[in-house]
Amino acid sequence: MTGDVAERSGAAGSAEPDPEGAPTKEARGKGHTPDEADLPLIISVDDHVMEPKDLWQRELPASLRDRGPKVVRERVKLEFVGGHYGFQRDVPDGDWCDLWLFDDLVTPTGLLHAPAGMPRDEQRNVPATYEDFRPGTYDQAERLADMDLNHVEAAINYPNIFPRFAGQGFLERQDKDLALACLRIYNDWMVDEWCGGAGRGRLVPLTLVPLWDPQLAAEEVRRCAGKGSHAIAFSENPAKLGLASMYSGDWDVLWAAAEETETTVSMHIGSSSSMPSTSPDAPLATSMSLYAQNAQGSLADWVFSGTLERFTDLKIAYAESQVGWMPFQLERMDAVWADGRGGVGGPVLPSEQVKGRVYGCVFDDLHGLKCRDDVGVDMILFETDYPHSDGTFPHSRKVAHELFVAAGMDADECRKVLRDNAVAAYGLERFGIS
């Protein structure tokens, strides 16, 4: 695995000089895509970190450690059917797997959780242990080295395995006092350890909130903002988690806290614990091809619930959502809004509510970049998705450059997508990033 990364990263991380006699960068001017070597350092708004196996066992009181999150190793088989992952435990002919246990929650570690650096044809939905992955998936020093290798200056990191992308692993526990204690341990580790020390200014903290209680969620936003975290992970559709919908008004206390603390609300695909599917026997490929549907539905909820109208300073961002769907979705919502056919409407069209406040991100969305004027080039972010299977490590700069050339993007547009928009979306000036 290491050898493969080294071989490929050499090709991606180097750039041939301009042929003799070719026009200089200055001569090419605006309207031309910069050379790969001239692209600015990347700010990735969607990377992931694997939770330390011993985190809760060392931080929880001794009386709670037996029930707190911990890792055991068993032989397991994984499956994916109809939009849902499944697994079988203690299978004699299964593969060794690190299983997260938290009260009655069992979450297997799969190879697709972190295959960064592995050839695509070796990336499968099979069990894995932490030792199967690059150390950069869970070790700060190694992660910073991998970011250097991948031309990445800074990155926002979502959870990876059992907490899931919006902290649903804590939501699903019956003992909410224990769940809250464990969630706060995670947030403190995220801010103080993973994003602290050598990681400050490069690893940007992302707060989880107790989804089961909007008031507690608001309090955690304020607590973590006081520690320097100004981004939270939220579900793309809380109703699918059995929680109050966006239309209920119950979440307003959370949005008020986010607005007050200048905290950006980030929603990763799959943070509703469901992926789009077409039938009970549809394979993983079906869901992977349709995942932007979750973001589409989420944006409709944010608009038609009136949330964006009530909280005019709030900013939201979609991770791993791509952006090519946005122009059509907004066009359709504007049409429905304008004539009141759907029972909603008002003076401010959805497209106007969204402008300057709703961000999407790309990692291979050429169509979205080609229609960037319709999306709003200031609203497009970039992600490397390290260490996931959709990720572009260690070739993110090369991949970005190929996309930008194909889309005909100039230097200003490239810089916006790779970093300037992320600075604006998440207020990264707080971390000395500009």
Question: Of 351, 326, 327, nearest to 337 (Cα)?
Answer: 351
CB atoms within 10 A of CB 99: 20
Q: Are 389 and 115 in contact (CB under 8 A)?
A: yes
Q: Which residues contact 341 (CB under 8 A, 6 or more apart)?
A: none
- The yes-or-no verdict on residue 254 having pLDDT over 50 is yes
Alpha carbons 379 and 417: distance in angstroms, whole number: 8
pLDDT of residue 285: 84
Question: Of 4, 40, 5, 319, nearest to 142 (Cα)?
Answer: 5
* Residue 123 vs residue 9, higher pLDDT: 123
250: CATH: 3.20.20.140
Q: Is residue 83 part of a domain?
A: no
Q: Are 235 and 168 in contact (CB under 8 A)?
A: yes
pLDDT of residue 132: 95
Residue range of the domain that includes 412: 2-14+25-68+134-431
CA distances from 106 to 131, 254, 271 (A): 20, 29, 18
- The yes-or-no verdict on residue 9 having pLDDT over 80 is no
DSSP state of 124: -
Q: Where are the beta strands (DSSP E) in 125-253?
A: 152-158, 203-204, 207-208, 231-233
Phi, psi of 89 (to 5 degrees): -95, 160
Which tokens is 98 given? 């690190």
Q: Is residue 318 part of a domain?
A: yes
Q: Is residue 77 part of a domain?
A: no
pLDDT of residue 30: 54
Q: Are 234 and 243 in contact (CB under 8 A)?
A: no
Q: Is residue 412 part of a domain?
A: yes
Alpha carbons 211 and 413: distance in angstroms, whole number: 37
pLDDT of residue 83: 64
Alpha carbons 112 and 389: distance in angstroms, whole number: 6
For the stretch 326-353, pLDDT in tens is 999 999 999 999 888 788 888 899 999 9
pLDDT of residue 342: 82
Report cis status (omega within 30 of 0) of the bond before 394: yes
Q: Is residue 206 part of a domain?
A: yes
Query: What's the first-to-final CA gap in the chain, in angstroms?
Result: 34
Report cis status (omega within 30 of 0) of the bond before 163: no
Q: Are 207 and 232 in contact (CB under 8 A)?
A: yes
pLDDT of residue 329: 96
The two counts, helices (H) then strands (E), for the chain are 18, 13
3-class DSSP state of 194: helix
Phi, psi of 348 (to 5 degrees): -110, 115
Number of folded domains that form the chain: 1
3-class DSSP state of 105: strand
* Residue 27 vs residue 60, higher pLDDT: 60
pLDDT of residue 10: 33
For the stretch 263-278, pLDDT in tens is 999 999 888 887 777 8
Q: What confidence category does residue 16 fall into, taking pLDDT thresholds of 50, 70 and 90?
A: very low
Window from 46-60, 306-320, 329-343 with minimum mean pLDDT:
329-343
Q: Is residue 391 part of a domain?
A: yes
Mean pLDDT value across residues 107-120: 93
Mean pLDDT of the chain: 91
Q: What confidence category does residue 77 fall into, taking pLDDT thresholds of 50, 70 and 90?
A: very high
Buried b (16+ CB within 10 A) or exposed e, 65-89: eebbbbbeebebbbebeebebebee
Report cis status (omega within 30 of 0) of the bond before 135: no
Q: Are 362 and 379 in contact (CB under 8 A)?
A: no
Q: Is residue 56 part of a domain?
A: yes
pTM over 0.85: yes
3-class DSSP state of 215: helix
Identity (one letter) of the amino acid at 158?
Y
Q: Is residue 388 part of a domain?
A: yes
- The yes-or-no verdict on residue 386 having pLDDT over 60 is yes
- In sequence order, the β-bridge partners of residue 203 are 155
